[in-house]
Structure 1
Amino acid sequence: MLTAAIVFALAPALLILVLGIIARGVATQHVTPRVVQYSPERTSTVLRDALLVDADRRAASAALIDLAVKRKVRLIAGSRREPIGVEVEPGAVFTSEELSLLDGLFGPDHTHRRVRRFSSDRRALAGRLKTLLLGVEHALARDGLIAERRVGWPGGTLTVLAYLGMLVEALLIVFSLLNNAWPALLLTLIALAATIATIFVTPPWWRKYLPPAQAKREHLAGLREYIALAEADRLRVLQSPSGAELRADVPGATISAGHGSGGSTRAAGPTATAHPADTAPPVGPLARFHLHERLLPYAVLFGLEREWIAKLKLEAAAVDTHGTDAVDIASVTFDIADTLDAAGGVLQLTASVGDLFDGAGEIIEGVGGLFEALGP
């Protein structure tokens, strides 16, 4: 019985678990940033970048916050029971992708009802947002950044093997109990645990990023490095957004000339590479605050929104506004923080969105009515 437990349960379970871990590593397609970046690429959008960092669940919320940061909409905090309000700022101009986002959030059959938290509405919302992200994914494929088809056969194969293994293990558990074969029972239970772990470890599918996407993903990884430094209060290492230093501990990276204290150039690799920060003009505290505010949607993508909001609040308090109240400058940050608290977090934000208002407080009937609201 012990031999059967090892041959038919433990060995296969450990094998598929190892294969599942390998599949997880391959699916990650990890990139190492060559430099620390302090701003997204000019031609990028939050939705496209979300898929390039596998942040699908946070994509819609980050894109909605991006609209708030750009002063195109205003998020109005409600409560856990009442939906979050979205108000279109007067004169706002939306791109086709942004209109698609609003269409996904509010739907073409939008009505005057305030509460939109019924299960049927949430299922419809999830379907519309899934369709939105599929459209973005197809656009990335057309641009040659990702493969047209996701890689799904390893996850499907290992999942089927795991369920077959659980069936065999269940039979072995029964036989072990009937024969009082306690060592065999213990090994079978270990095999069962490994099989269940395989189901959770193995990704069901993943995108295959093509070589042209490498530079963009490295840029986003560098942007995450910059945002993550706020957690350890190490943004001072970068001196200023106009002279963002490169990481000296990254092989082949260089340290760019900073505009803060020192301003020296230090090379960590054999060659020095040019960086936009080398030629960027110095900026003051107010400009730096607005630059950091632009990164808030990306902090959401990376799961660092709480730390970044705290950083923005500290910067707002320290800004020399020459007579302008820092609270007014940081009003978007405060609104977003309140909205996230009311929604119960980033992942619940889009599910908590209620009606779409214009600047006068009137409900806009669907996104189609947005054109009328913004028209002359």
Structure 2
Amino acid sequence: MMDVSAFLGVASFGILLVLLALGVVAIVRPIARRLPRAPIVEYVPPEGDLLSHGLLVRADRRLLTAVVTDLAVRGSVRILTPRGSRGPVAIEVVHGARFSAEEWQLLAALRPHRMRARQQRRYVRALAEIGVVVGQVDDAPDVVFVRGPGSFRRHRRHALKNFLDGLRHRVVAEGLARKRPVSIHLVMLSLLFLVTVAFGLLLILGALVDGEWIGAIVVLLTMAALFWVLTLSPPPLLWFTDAGRERRRHLAGLRDYMKLAEQDRIRFLQSPEGALRSPTGELTPTGRIMGLAPAAHAANPAAQSGLDRIILDEKLLPYAILFRQERRWHRELHRLGGAHVSRNVEVLGGTLEGVIAVLDVLVIIGQVLRVTGTVVSFLGRST
């Protein structure tokens, strides 16, 4: 059996690595989540779109959930989830719905455009699991899977990486951020993970020779813990220009508005400064920015005010997800889409956030491996 002192040494080393990794996360996460102080409360999103705003508030891992929720509230997609905690999670495109080019790109990132025969059979089986029985792929509705046998992880990993990289490049091109995101924290955590992997391989080889598995098991548990810590760490951090910081201040004002209690929000919207329509029913400048219809659709001003608030909620609900306020806005989501939409968005959010977290980790680990391999190769040639 393995010597007790050696076992304690391996266990202590593993605990030290995990604590060090948690310390890095504890330092970086507050920096990633901090928004500048807003001079005023805002309830109109700033210039730009939801995708760029998600990067500006460093909510990369919640961005896809916010976009899909926006599409669901607009009636462009349906979110299909199981009754329990397990089972496939899918997104069905509503026939005739309109999407922007980037929204189409996001949906395309979840399923290959051309599937091989094996992938087609797998996709048809996945459709059967959610109650859609078809003979072949051409007869199937437009459904993409986020979780389950119909989710194509290899394609998704590559396509989502390109999608997020493209968004970051666009934010840089718009003059809102500097050229390269900083990912030193992820590189450091990845190095810790790779050191543990290398150490674990040596112990496993030793265990094969001597039949002592306890140390290898401890290292495997440490590897699992480090990978979990990696998924908790923020994604690569964008550094913002003056224009980007100004837009972040506007978004901070929007977040402050969304933190207000329900009755405070209603009073704010009914104030002269916050009204979407004048007493005569004409649109205020803010009402025009929000895209309200110029002509009233309700029988009286009170009912029209209610309709206008629904339109405002529809536009702000995805921002509640970006700002981690979806639980506070649960009632609005329930009213806009019903109980099933509220629950489905919750399941989808947990699934997509996990997908992006793992994607970030795998990308950084791959980059560290490539750099390490290059350095080792260079040293090998120079000796």
Interval of TM-score (by shorter of Structure 1 and Structure 2): 0.5 to 0.7
Alpha-carbon distance in 2 for matches of 1:163, 1:94: 41
1:215 counterpart residue number: 246
AA at the equivalent of 1:339:
N
Counterparts of 1:110-189 in structure 2, within 5 Å, are 110=115, 111=120, 112-115=123-126, 117-118=148-149, 121-153=152-184, 156=187
State how far apart, in whole Å, the 2-side matches of 1:47 and 1:214 are. Answer: 16
Stretch of structure 1 that moved more, 293-302 or 21-30? 21-30
Aligned partner of residue 215 in structure 1, secondary structure:
helix
Aligned to 2:262: 235
Conserved in 1, the CA contact under 8 Å of 2:62 and 2:353?
no
8 Å Cα contact 2:32-2:58 kept in structure 1: no
Distance 1:27 1:76 in 2: 32
Note if 1:104 corresponds to 2:112: no
With over 3 angstroms needed to count, the CA separation of the structure-2 counterparts of 1:145 and 1:308, relative to structure 1, is same
2:53 paired residue number: 49
2:351 to 348, 360, 364: 348
Higher relative contact order (CA 8 A, sep 6+): 1
Partners of 1:146 and 1:210 within 8 A in 2: yes
Corresponding residue SS for 1:292: helix
Alignment size in residue pairs: 269
In 1, the alpha carbon distance for the partners of 2:51 and 2:248 equals: 14
Specify which of 68, 85, 96 is matched with residue 64 of structure 1.
Answer: 68
Give the Å deviation of 1:86. 0.9
- What amino acid is the match of 1:305? E
TM-score relative to the length of structure 1: 0.56
**In 2: Cα distance, 1:133 partner to 1:56 partner:** 8
**Deviation of 1:46 (Å):** 1.9
More deviation, 109-118/286-295: 109-118
**CA distance 1:334–1:20, shift in 2 (3 Å):** closer
**Could you tell me how far 1:39 is from its partner in structure 2?**
3.0
Identity %, equivalent residues:
30
Q: 1:126 & 1:23 partners in 2: Cα distance?
A: 25
Q: Shift of the alpha carbon at 1:218?
A: 1.5
SS at match of 2:324: coil
Higher helix share: 2
- Residues 149-178 of structure 1: CA distance to partner in whole angstroms, max 9, x if unpaired? 1223466469869999xxxxxxxxxxxxxx
Q: Which amino acid aligns with 1:293?
A: E
| Structure 1 residues 108-142: Cα deviation after superposition (integer angstroms, max 9, x where no partner) | 23545252524982343233222211110110011
- 8 Å contact from structure 2 (residues 74, 314) kept in 1: no
How many Å separate the matches in 2 of 1:50 and 1:218? 14
Do the aligned residues in 2 keep the contact of 1:125 with 1:351 (CA within 8 Å)? no
| 1:1-376 alignment runs, 5 A limit | 26-28=31-33, 30-41=35-46, 43-79=47-83, 80-90=86-96, 92-110=97-115, 111=120, 112-115=123-126, 117-118=148-149, 121-153=152-184, 156=187, 205-229=236-260, 234-240=261-267, 242-243=269-270, 257=273, 276=286, 284-313=305-334, 316=335, 330=336, 332-340=337-345, 344-349=347-352
Change (3 A) 1:126 1:36: farther
Q: CA RMSD in A?
A: 4.7
- 3-state SS in 2 of match to 1:304: coil
Structure 2's unaligned 5+ residue stretches are: 1-18, 127-144, 196-225, 277-284, 293-300, 356-383
| Contact in 2 for aligned 1:84/1:339 (Cα 8 Å) | no
Distance 1:120 1:68, change over 3 A: closer
Indicate how the Cα distance of structure 1 residues 36 and 124 shifts in structure 2: closer, same or farther if over 3 A, else same: same
Instruction: For 2:66, give the aligned amino acid.
Output: A
CA distance in 2, matches of 1:202, 1:74: 31
